[in-house]
Amino acid sequence: MSEQKPFGYFLALDLYGVSAEICDSLEKNYRFLEELVVFLGMTAMAPPTVIHAPSKFDKNGVRSEAYPDKAGISAWQPLIESGIQIHTIAPKEFLSIDIFTCGNLDIEKTVEFVSKFYGCKKCDHYHIKRGHEYNGK
Q: Which tens digits make up the pLDDT trace of 4-29? A: 788 899 999 999 999 999 999 999 99
CATH number at 104 reads 3.60.90.10
Instruction: State CA 94 to chain mean position distance.
Output: 12
- Return the beta strands (E) in 90-134 as ranges: 94-101, 122-130
In this structure, is residue 102 part of a structural domain? yes
Residue 98, in any domain of the structure: yes
How confident is the model at residue 47, as a pLDDT? Answer: 97
pLDDT tens digits, 75-101: 999 999 899 999 999 999 999 999 999
State how far the alpha carbon of 74 is from the alpha carbons of 48, 52, 116, 130, 134, in Å: 11, 7, 20, 24, 30
Give the number of domains in the chain: 1
Q: Residue 59's pLDDT is what?
A: 86
Q: What is the extent of the structural domain holding 89?
A: 20-52+69-125
Residue 88 lies in a domain: yes
- 89: in domain: yes
| Structural domain contains residue 13 | no
Q: Whole-number mean pLDDT of the chain?
A: 91
Please give the model's pTM, rounded to 2 decimal places: 0.87
